[in-house]
Each structure stands twice: as C-alpha cells, then as structure tokens.
C-alpha cells in the first residue's frame, strides 16, 4: 500500500488484529441502532472481493461487527424513499446518491435461514466515508427477508406504519 495515512490498529474477536489506513475509517455519526456509542467502523472484506458479503466492524469494540451486503443484488426493486428533510437531517442532501447496504443475520444453527434487514438499511456516502442507518416507515420492507429460503418473510414480522 502506497498510502501515507497513519495506520489504525484494532482487534477483532472474529478476525484477530487488524490494521487499516486512517482515511479508510468509516464514520457512523449516530451509530448503528442499539449501539449509539460506537461511531467508528471499518469495512472488512476477508474474502478479498470474492464474497457477496462485507463486514462492518467497530474499531472501538472487538466484538461489535455486522455482516452487510448490497440489497440490490437480491432485491432489484428495493427502493428507499427519503424526503429532503430526512436528507438534510442526515447532512447528505446535495451529496452523491448513497450506496446502499443492509445488515445480514445468519442463524448459527440454520445458516440457510440467512436473512437481510430491509427495514433499516445503511446509507454510505463514499466521498466523506460516512454511514447512516435509517428506518423505512413506508414500503413495508421486512425486518427479516430470507435470501435463500423459499418463504421470504416471517409472518408477523410487523409492518412499518408510521412511527411519528
């Protein structure tokens, strides 16, 4: 790597010690839902570009990491509707359209029931390495969309509906 940026070192309970250039840190200003205190992450690709999945790994907590994927490779009609005030609030209006990721869960005892959280996607602004998680209140996107199983959604997964 010809990068002259300082190196950030952190440890991962899953992957051991990791080093990345500081400019590749990802800022998550509000944190991931349920983990508001952790705002610095790194994108890891242990497969070296071979996998559909990446890891969004906290730099400040060795245990805290999420498997993420591009939802459009599974759900081509996946759309997020964000209003201008939403984009303003996130500070991303006027920037390039964000790249979309969703969090994936792989049940330990039944990996084929792998599911993606389409209800609360991640918006990644590459130009300033910032990521925001939003909750889609419209569109009825499921909390657990099964990527492999024939039955796509849990029944009773709960519809979105208006929160506020």
Partner 1 sequence: MLVLSRKKDEKLMIGEDIEVTIVEVKGETVKIGISAPPEVKIYRGELLDAIHEAARQPAPDLTELDRKLRAKKEK
Residues that bind partner 1 (CB under 8 A): 14-15, 32-36, 47, 50-53, 63-67, 74, 89, 103-106, 108, 111-112, 114, 117, 119-120, 135, 143-144, 147-148, 157-158, 163-164
For residue 52, the minimal CB distance to partner 1 (Å) is 6
* Nearest residue (CB) to partner 1, 7 versus 33: 33
* Nearest residue (CB) to partner 1, 7 versus 135: 135
For residue 43, the minimal CB distance to partner 1 (Å) is 15
DSSP one-letter code for 97:
P
Q: How many CB atoms lie within 10 A of CB 95?
A: 14
Please say whether the beta carbons of 116 and 74 come within 8 A: yes
**What does the alpha-carbon distance between residue 143 and residue 156 come to, in Å, rounded to a whole number?**
10
Q: How many CB atoms lie within 10 A of CB 38?
A: 15
**What does the alpha-carbon distance between residue 107 and residue 66 come to, in Å, rounded to a whole number?**
13
For residue 163, the minimal CB distance to partner 1 (Å) is 6
For residue 103, the minimal CB distance to partner 1 (Å) is 5
Q: What is the DSSP string of 78-91?
A: ------HHHHHHHT
* Nearest residue (CB) to partner 1, 63 versus 97: 63
* Nearest residue (CB) to partner 1, 8 versus 160: 160
Q: CA 134: distance to chain centroid? A: 10
For residue 5, the minimal CB distance to partner 1 (Å) is 27
* Nearest residue (CB) to partner 1, 49 versus 97: 49
Q: How many CB atoms lie within 10 A of CB 102?
A: 25
């Amino acid at each position: 790597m010809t990068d002259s940026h300082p190196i950030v070192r952190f440890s991962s309970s899953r992957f051991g010690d990791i080093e990345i250039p500081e400019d590749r840190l990802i800022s998550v200003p509000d944190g991931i839902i349920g983990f508001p205190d952790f705002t610095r992450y790194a994108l890891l690709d242990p497969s070296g570009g071979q996998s559909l999945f990446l890891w969004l790994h906290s730099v400040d907590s060795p245990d805290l990491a999420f498997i993420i994927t591009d939802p459009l490779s599974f759900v081509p009609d996946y759309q997020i509707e964000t209003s201008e005030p939403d984009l303003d609030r996130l500070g991303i209006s006027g920037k390039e359209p964000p790249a979309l990721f969703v969090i994936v869960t792989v049940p330990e005892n039944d990996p084929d029931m792998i599911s993606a959280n389409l209800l609360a996607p991640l918006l990644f602004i590459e130009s300033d390495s910032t990521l925001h998680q939003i909750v889609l209140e419209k569109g009825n996107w499921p909390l657990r969309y099964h990527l492999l199983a024939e039955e796509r959604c849990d029944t009773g997964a709960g519809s979105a509906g208006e929160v506020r």
